[in-house]
Structure 1
Amino acid sequence: MEIKLKPEALNSKEINKFRDSKRFLFNDQSINNEILLSISSFEALKQLEHDRLLYFATHDPLDQHNRKFIHDIYPIFTSLQRILNLQQSNLSTYARISDLYKNTLEQHLSSCTADNLLHWANVYAIWSFTQLLYFPFDGRGEGVIAEELLDWINRVDVAPTSEEGLEITSANTPHEHDNFWPYIYKCIIRGFHKTATQPLHSLLSHQTKSISNTAERLISLLYTFPRSTNYQFEHDYFSAHKAWRDEAKRTLSSIADLSQYADEFTKDVFDDITLALQLLCGKKSKIFEVADDWRECLAAYGLFVIPSLRRDDIPSVLEEIFKEVPLDTTLPDQCIEAALANAETTKAITLCNEFDPWLVAHLTDLLDKIGAVDHDPEFPLTLRQHFLLQYADKLASDPGLWTITLDYYAQCGVEGASRVRALIVRVPLLLDVKGDNDEKMDGDDVFNETIQTNLPNLTRVEEILSICQEYALEEEASEVCRNAAEQLVEREYYGLAVAFCIRAKEARKLGRITDLILEEYLNKGEKVFSSLVDSIPTSLLNVTTYSAGDMFDDGHSNLEIERDGTQDASARALARDPAVSSRLAFLARYKDFHSSLKKDDKEGAAILLVEMLTTEIAPKRFWSVLLADALPLLEDSEVLFTLEDAYELLRFLEDVHTGPNLKSLPTIKL
């Protein structure tokens, strides 16, 4: 694989010098086709300018024109995997799935650009040929195959064209047109027998009676040629074909007698008619002469030479054909088709890998379902897993396809599961992407509740966590929540960050966030502080309030304690951890304290203040703030504190003044 870097890491003239310097290029590749390269050395060398450069590159990028096709194919792929898991699979079912793939490919062709139309047309040809050979609609594939081969070759390689026929029939004397007989021959071996009769009618008016009579017999033979699709039973078809061939041979014999007496002006016409009859009689050498490639030969064999041709007969027939019409190895699509026809599926898959990543992944997946793919027990991955992972890695280079990528990874055993875990924690959270309000997830959506509006867009986070739950990725879900919490803290959405810290079971980060909320109180006042506390999911505050014990069951709390067990279990478990519950409980109680003051419930405020200190839920660095809050209550004309409470306040005041961390306490403006 060659990757061109801009700017160049090294030019061709510097390679030898670079090697002599005992340096080497170190690269690290991610799962989404990104490569990081740097210059390194095993020895301590003087650092040069280019030693400090990092090079980022992407190899094998995804063609953006194919994104719609990828989305259209995706549900077919997932349906196929579900069918297998439900044990509802049989050859007919796989044939229907294959047909869905084929139809989607056909639709994709209509949107292809001129640059990639030929490539996707070849992909379509390979897929439809695989379906013809390995996924017959009847679920058995035991019948004759000539008509299916003809239908396939005529669909993927149109010949002759209708324009050619129109040009010939529009001529004053069609049989004198230079392309007259080549057109007739092509119509015959492609099965367009009635089409061939249209220009042949011009020979009926030929001045030589023997030619016009012979042309009439040729036209009759073309009209009466038996087709397997017109017969219910094969033995009836074989009998009709034998009788028809006997008649064609008699006609050919009579022409041989007539051509002996033909003059120089009519002999060429007799020779041309003779060749047409030889094709109809199944003369192999003439089929090889007229056919453009082995595919036409194979279809003609089934139509004229071996009317009983079946799928199992194809390899032996191809062996004979390739002796006369060698396979063009410069055409990768035909090489793949030839390998498929010879039942060399491993070879076909290998060639597909060099041809198209989508094709090799999905073709191998489908062939593997019917046991047509060999596996090496010494190789850690099956061919199916290997190529699906390879395709998924390509999808991973497009961040917008991450959900599809995960589903492909998930179908690939242990290695696929590993890549699912690696990718899902790297999916961008897109918190700043604008979205409709009904598409946003607020903080309590993590625990199935509703809180404030005007929040960042958490749709992507919700989607990621849902997938983590689907795949039982607890550790990865925690990491996603940690990342979400960090990004929300950066944006000062502290309440939401608390919810994600709980989900991530990150007590330390939660402590940092509660400290930041308290800092907001010191810097911006009670109103901002209360709004931040309100943004914390009430389920978390309720759990922590309840977990703090009956000491809060005094009728003064404005929080409604939920005991119905509806909250997320992991949230409740962590919220009841003393290190966590005390921090959240303090925020809730301190907000209640200010609410009581606003309601002029000074007695309730005094009780709350003392409780926050004596139950030790208040951070020690915040004691001075609480003591400052106590001053107006102490100065009130009404006695709000008991003697015991007053002694407690004095004890805390002494601790504040004599404590070792006095300098670290916040400065309070009284």
Structure 2
Amino acid sequence: MPSDHLGVVPALLDAGCAEELEKSGKTLHASSSPLNETYAVYPASSLENPSAKHHTFSPDDKPVYFVSSEALPLSERRLFVGDTSIIFAAWQNLLKSVTQNGTDLLQDEPSQRVMRKLALDYVNFAKECWVHTAQSSSEARQVPSDHYRTLYTCLSLFVVLYVPEYGLENAPFGDDLMEWLNTHFIEPSTEEGDHLSSLENSWADETFWPYLTRATLRGLSKAVTFFLGTLSAHPCKDLRRLSQTLIPLLDTQPKLQAYEAEREFAYASHRWKERVKALRLELDAVPEPDRRDDYEDWWDRFSDIVGILEGRGEIIQKVCEELGADWKEVCVAWGVFVDPRLRRQDLPDVITQVLEDMPPDPTNLEDMIHAALFTGDPLKALDHAAKLDPWLSAHLADMMEPLALVDKDPNEDSGLTPRNFYVLSYAQYLHADSALWRITVAYMYSCGKIGAKTADEVLVRVPLRLHGVGSSNATENNADERLSKGDLSGIIKDLNATCHEYERENVRRSICKIAARTFVQKKEYGLALSYCSSAEDWPGLGRVVDRILQEYIYTGPEQYTRYVLDIAPSLQALRANAGAHGVFIHRLIFAVRYAEFHQRLLNQDLQDAAWDLVTIFQEEIAPRSWWGILLCDAVQLLQYGKFSLSVQHTRQLGANSTPF
């Protein structure tokens, strides 16, 4: 999914004209955004050649391109990311529980069963996404349905190889590998079988023997026995006799699941192989002239099938090459026919021999991931998985570390373990979409100190990102629309809850400070004071009060009074806060009392307004910088004909005004 190139529209240069940029004395510059994985790219004068002559670009032509190094998760991709993050959270809770209980994950049966269940949840969800996207092919998709099929095959192979059922870690697993191969890479096709079954003499068709050989190689005994039964009408009596002998052999091939003990399975396999050898002797006894029919050399084809059942590795590899099969089919057949007691720890030795003659396709990331998992090279598998999809490498690495498949010690240079490196890389991919911040920080906080510090920075910047104005990004515009409906409080509440969950108190306070500034800009002063108090930012609270008082200067007493109505309920709570700084609370008290004074003036309650004014001076509530304004208000009271201040009022005002 990640790309090494970023396309911009319209193009800065025409195709094949890259030299024009250099000749113009310009070069490309890029500035990264602190919010997500976006960049501003623009042409500017080259430092190496500032005196180069101008050719193509005019001095005023300075286009700026905004590009992203990651494709934003959209539509079904966002659903996939969100739902699988629930499985990730359950996995982290399992590991946390194991750590707290002091149990060994690799030895504890209940924990291993839960671990396998969660790993299968990943597999099943990838399968559901594949089926869903394949069935709705008419809709535009961010990634094709085949991408989810690839995730499905890789995850299910990982489970087969590294997350077996409890107690079966050292059991033979050839049948499990064959089931995986037949589930994800269906051969021979159903259409081939339908075609052959519709023929009167199916053996006359050129696909007859390749079909039987491939079906035998895949362990599809029912299909093979059905078509072997049609040979009862074949004109060659030797082929009719040998086919009837082969049918019960295929039907009785031992399977590990049918036996209670591996020893019984091994004994049954040995006896079965003896019967195959007897069939080989019968086959070799067929005279040379009778080994062909009117269509081809049936004996050679039949011999290949018997050779597969005998477990002859060279025959299996030859047959796979002739049928166009790859290394996977050889390795899987090896565990069923060559070595039925093959164990997981022995598989890398087998695959190494096979890959020498049948290497994986280096242009196919899916094939390379499969090969790395087969050979027991988790780090190489993660490297290829990261190129395919950062989601896959992150979740594989997350499962690999507790299984002791990758090192738990951090790299000396980066300070990150392999698991944390891939999980953080995936989190950076998620960070490209601001709407996914909750999921982003959940992955980051699981990555030790480095991840926690990175997540802190993401959380602190969420409010800044959400109230940006003029963004062309659809996600940010949607956020602006939500904010205009008063949804910012809900966003801050979610941020605070996240901080509490991960015990990031300093981050929570920083967010509250940012929220307070945001609400000041929106002139929602009550919420601004509330967040200042929550952040214990008392100087900030004082600045909010100053902004409220400035509203009196800018907008007049009526609008000022309405603003103070929003903050009055906060006053009682702040007074009860033992940590609140008195000087800032004192200033808030003045703002409220001063609003009450003007409210009485507006209501023509002049007597009480006068008493409010005198009381403000008597209780020394008013800041010195506001004394002059209060005296001007007193002049206003004196101008009313029906009211006059008493001598006591006047003396009080005069006494308090002497500092001026």
TM-score range, shorter chain: 0.7 to 0.9
Match of 2:91 in 1: 80
- Look up the match of 2:77: 66
Unaligned runs of 5+ in 2: 107-111, 138-142, 470-475
| Aligned residue number for residue 560 of structure 1 | none
Q: Assess, with a 3 A threshold, how the Cα gap between structure 1 residues 637 and 73 changes in structure 2: closer, same or farther.
A: same
The answer as to 2:310 corresponding to 1:281 is: yes
Q: CA deviation at 1:198?
A: 1.3
Which piece of structure 1 moves more, 125-134 or 508-517?
A: 508-517
1:609 matched to 2:619: no
1:316 is matched with which residue? 349
Q: Distance in 2 between matches of 1:17 and 1:528?
A: 57
Preserved CA contact (<8 Å) 1:302 1:309: yes
Mapped partners of 1:308, 1:112: distance in 2:
39
- Correspondent of 1:495 among 523, 526, 532: 526
Q: Which amino acid aligns with 2:579?
A: A
Gaps of 5+ in 1: 443-453, 547-562, 564-568, 660-670
Q: Structure 1 residues 300, 488: closer, same or farther in 2, change over 3 A?
A: same
- With 146-155 and 59-68 compared, the bigger mean Cα shift is at 59-68
Change in CA separation of 1:515 and 1:326 when aligned onto 2, cut-off 3 Å: closer
Q: Which amino acid in 1 is paired with 2:450?
A: E
Q: Is the 8 A contact 1:302 1:308 kept in 2?
A: yes
Show the counterpart of 2:572: 542
Aligned length: 613
Residue of structure 2 equivalent to 1:589: 593
1:236 paired residue number = 264
2:189 to 137, 152, 161: 161
Give the match for residue 22 of structure 2. 18
1:331: how far off? 2.7
Asked if the contact 1:92/1:136 (under 8 Å) is kept, the reply is: no
Aligned residue identity for 1:496: L
Determine if contact 2:35/2:461 at 8 Å carries over to the other structure. no
Paired with 2:300 and 2:508, the residues of 1 have a C-alpha distance of 79
Residue in 1 aligned with 2:286? 258
Q: Which residue of 1 aligns with 2:386?
A: 353
> Deviations along 1:334-373, whole A, 9 cap, x unmatched?
2222222221222222222222211111111110111111
TM-superposed CA distance for 1:212, in Å, is 1.6
1 CA distance for matches of 2:266 and 2:487?
A: 73
Q: Can you list the C-alpha shifts for 1:579-610, whole angstroms capped at 9, x where unaligned?
A: x1122101222234356678997665444322
2:163 aligned partner:
135
2:202 is aligned to 174
How far apart are residue 45 of structure 1 and its match?
Answer: 5.9
Residues 1:368 and 2:381 are matched in the alignment: no
Selected match of 2:495 from 459, 464, 481: 464
Aligned counterpart, 1:476: 507
Cα deviation, residue 9, structure 1: 5.3
Q: Is the 8 A contact 2:228 2:247 kept in 1?
A: yes
Is the alpha carbon distance of 1:15 and 1:26 closer, same or farther for their aligned partners in structure 2, counting shifts above 3 Å?
farther
2:120 equivalent in structure 1:
99
Q: Counterpart amino acid of 1:346?
A: L
Counterpart AA for 1:612: I
Q: Is the 8 A contact 2:519 2:527 kept in 1?
A: yes
In the alignment, the residues of structure 2 paired with residue 573 and residue 10 of structure 1 have an alpha-carbon distance, to the nearest angstrom, of: 62
Task: Give secondary structure in 1 for the equivalent of 2:401.
Answer: helix
Report the CA distance shift for 1:493/1:10 in structure 2 as closer, same or farther (over 3 A).
same
Cα deviation, residue 136, structure 1? 0.7
Q: Does the 8 Å CA contact 1:145/1:310 hold for their aligned counterparts? A: yes
Shift of 1:407: 0.8
2:579 alignment partner, one of 564, 573, 580: 573
**Residue from 196, 199, 223 that aligns with 2:224:** 196
Q: Is the 8 A contact 1:27 1:35 kept in 2?
A: yes
Distance 1:41 1:613 in 2: 66
Deviates more, 1:295-304 or 1:603-612: 603-612
Partner in structure 2 of residue 3 of structure 1: 6
Q: Alignment partner of 1:486: what SS? A: helix
What's the TM-score, normalizing by structure 2? Answer: 0.83
- Matched letter for residue 586 of structure 1: F
Give the distance between the partners of 1:121 and 1:537, measured in 2 at CA.
60
Q: 1:323 to 1:390 in 2, by over 3 A?
A: closer
SS in 2 for 1:207: coil
Partner of 1:184: 212
- Asked if the contact 1:431–1:457 (Cα under 8 Å) also holds between the matched residues in 2, the reply is no
| Residue type of the alignment partner of 1:69 | F
Instruction: Give the match for residue 532 of structure 1.
Output: 563
Residue in structure 1 matching 2:517, options 486, 493, 496: 486
In the alignment, the residues of structure 1 paired with residue 209 and residue 277 of structure 2 have an alpha-carbon distance, to the nearest angstrom, of: 20
Q: 1:382 aligns with which of 413, 417, 436?
A: 417
Larger CA deviation: 85-94 vs 335-344 = 85-94
Post-superposition offset of 1:637: 7.3
Corresponding residue number in structure 1 for 2:370: 337
Deviations 1:33-69, CA, capped at 9 Å, x for gaps: 1113353666996897368554422112134241111
Aligned match of 2:130:
109
Distance 1:455 1:184 in 2: 69
| AA in 1 matched with 2:516 | A
| Aligned-partner Cα distance in 2 for 1:126–1:533 | 62
SS in 1 for 2:494: helix
- The amino acid of 2:582's aligned partner reads D
Structure 2 partner of 1:32: 36
Does residue 514 (structure 1) correspond to residue 545 (structure 2)? The answer is yes
CA distance in 2, matches of 1:501, 1:389: 32
Give, in angstroms, the shift of residue 15 of structure 1: 4.4
Partner of 1:215: 243
Query: In the TM superposition, what whole-angstrom CA distance separates every residue of 1:217-266 from its partner, at most 9, and x where no partner exists?
Result: 11121112221121111111111111111111111211221243516427
RMSD across aligned positions (CA): 3.4
Tell me the TM-score normalized by structure 1. 0.82
Aligned to 1:126: 154
Name the CA distance, whole Å, in 2 between partners of 1:631 and 1:128: 85
Query: Would you say the 8 A contact 2:292–2:299 is kept in 1?
Result: no
Q: Which SS does the other structure have where 1:86 is aligned?
A: helix
Worse-superposed segment, 90-99 or 360-369: 90-99
Q: Is the 8 A contact 2:423 2:444 kept in 1?
A: yes
In 1, are the aligned partners of 2:291 and 2:297 still within 8 Å (CA)?
Answer: no
SS in 2 for 1:25: strand
Measure the CA separation in 1 of the matches of 2:625 and 2:159.
Answer: 74
Distance 2:620 2:239 in 1: 116
Write the distance in 1 (CA, Å) between the matches of 2:221 and 2:244.
14
Q: Helix, strand or coil: the match of 2:579?
A: helix
CA contact (8 A) 1:255 1:274 kept: yes
Q: Which moved more, 1:322-331 or 1:71-80?
A: 322-331
Partner SS, residue 496 of structure 1 = helix
Q: Distance in 2 between matches of 1:650 and 1:638?
A: 19
Deviation at 1:618, TM superposition (A): 2.3
> What amino acid does structure 2 have at the position aligned with 1:584?
L
User: What is the letter of the counterpart of residue 144 of structure 2?
Assistant: N
